[in-house]
């Protein structure tokens, strides 16, 4: 029996955060409900950042109130600092996520600080989460290529991933932000990271700009990773990564994993409906 794989659904946060048109709060709540109904058990719902920085997610508290606590589902929110953590904790999240970069250029463009400064911001989050018993997920962006610095050294990725683990991250998600990474690049990166972070504590996060995300998933599967991020309908992209397409579509990932014999606990039929709904939100925001 092939080992089960867990999918972390990031569409409600990473998928919608950069849409220019306002998406109604009720539709965001409905998207999460559809994801839950399809069997997804890890869902990143929103982000408690400044509304000025990410206007699309200014309704974070309202979305969380509408979603509520879902038995058997880990509801996650991204937090930038201690203030964001306090808001997320008050809203009732099950876990939080922090965001780091493997390159200085992307760190400064995306969160307006150096890598070291980002870890200084995270430190109080890790302390508070540890005291509260809240797991922290750490993201590392640009694990193969950076829009500002080009090819990323594998040692740089391993260093940031190792720092997140040392701070207390329960899981480290490796983000191939531009969707340019080849299987050979991903393999070399993972070989470096696995020297400092065990596969059981890693997740793969692949964008599908060049259509190679599933090939990179296969590389990660072969190295023991069993958690992957994806977004319903392939929503996503990053304003600080020109040309980056959306995240790997959850429905494509699930179909691929099922073909390989991995159990996901996801109902493909209900997932297809959730994906259609996700794509309709994007079209509605563009209208």
% the chain with pLDDT above 90? 84
- Residue 285 pLDDT: 56
Residue 255, token pair as written in the block: 């179909």
Tens digits of residue pLDDT in 232-249: 999 986 555 555 568 999
120 to 47, 92, 109, 140, 280: CA distances (angstroms): 19, 25, 17, 16, 39
Domains and CATH numbers, the chain: 6-286 (3.20.20.70)
CA distance 152 to 7: 26
Q: What's the mean per-residue pLDDT of the chain?
A: 94
- The arithmetic mean of pLDDT across residues 110-139, rounded, is 96
- The arithmetic mean of pLDDT across residues 35-44, rounded, is 98
- Higher model confidence: residue 230 or residue 282? 230
- Residue 20 pLDDT: 81
CA distance 192 to 128: 30
- Residue 18 pLDDT: 81
In the block, tokens 């079209």 appear at 283
Tens digits of residue pLDDT in 173-200: 999 999 999 999 999 999 999 999 999 9
CB neighbour list of residue 140: distance below 8 Å, 6 or more residues apart: 100, 101, 102, 157, 160, 161, 164, 172, 173, 174, 175
pLDDT surpassing 70 at residue 286: no
CB neighbour list of residue 269: distance below 8 Å, 6 or more residues apart: none
Beta carbons of 80 and 99 less than 8 angstroms apart = yes
Catalytic residue among 8, 142, 146, 238: 238
- The arithmetic mean of pLDDT across residues 192-210, rounded, is 96
DSSP 268: H
pLDDT surpassing 50 at residue 7: yes
pLDDT surpassing 60 at residue 48: yes
Asked whether the CA dihedral 111, 6, 35, 68 is positive or negative, the reply is negative
pLDDT surpassing 50 at residue 287: no
CB neighbour list of residue 36: distance below 8 Å, 6 or more residues apart: 43, 70, 73
* Residue 238 is a catalytic residue: yes
Tens digits of residue pLDDT in 25-36: 999 999 999 999
Length of the chain in terms of residues written: 287
Tens digits of residue pLDDT in 212-230: 999 999 999 999 999 999 9
- Residue 83 pLDDT: 96
Closest CA to 60 of 30, 87, 36: 87
Q: In the beta sheet, which residues pair with residue 100? A: 140
- Residue 251 pLDDT: 97
- Residue 244 pLDDT: 53
pLDDT surpassing 70 at residue 121: yes
How many helices and strands in the chain, by DSSP H and E?
A: 10, 10
């Amino acid at each position: 029996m092939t080992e089960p794989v867990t999918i972390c659904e990031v569409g409600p946060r990473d998928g919608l955060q950069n849409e220019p048109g306002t998406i109604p709060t009720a539709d965001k709540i409905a998207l999460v409900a559809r994801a839950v109904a399809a069997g997804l058990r890890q869902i990143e719902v929103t982000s408690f950042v400044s509304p000025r920085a990410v206007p699309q997610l200014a309704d974070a508290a309202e979305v969380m109130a509408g979603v509520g606590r879902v038995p058997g589902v880990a509801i996650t929110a991204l937090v930038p600092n201690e203030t964001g953590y306090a808001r997320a904790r008050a809203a009732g999240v099950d876990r939080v996520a922090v965001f780091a970069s493997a390159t200085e250029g992307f760190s400064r463009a995306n969160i307006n600080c150096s890598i070291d400064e980002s870890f200084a911001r995270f430190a109080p989050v890790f302390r508070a989460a540890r005291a509260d018993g809240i797991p922290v997920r750490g993201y590392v962006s640009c694990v193969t290529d950076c829009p500002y610095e080009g090819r990323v050294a594998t040692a740089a990725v391993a260093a940031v991933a190792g720092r997140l683990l040392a701070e207390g991250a329960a899981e480290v998600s490796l983000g191939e932000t531009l969707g340019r990474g080849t299987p050979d690049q991903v393999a070399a990166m993972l070989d470096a990271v696995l020297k400092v972070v065990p596969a059981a504590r890693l997740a793969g996060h692949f964008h599908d700009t060049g259509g190679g995300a599933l090939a990179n998933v296969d590389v990660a599967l072969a190295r023991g990773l069993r958690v992957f991020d994806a977004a319903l309908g392939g929503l996503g992209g990053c304003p600080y990564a020109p040309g980056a397409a959306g995240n790997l579509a959850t429905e494509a990932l699930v179909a691929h994993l099922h073909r390989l014999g991995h159990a996901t606990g996801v109902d493909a039929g209900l997932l297809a409906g959730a994906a259609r709904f996700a794509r309709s939100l994007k079209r509605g925001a563009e209208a």
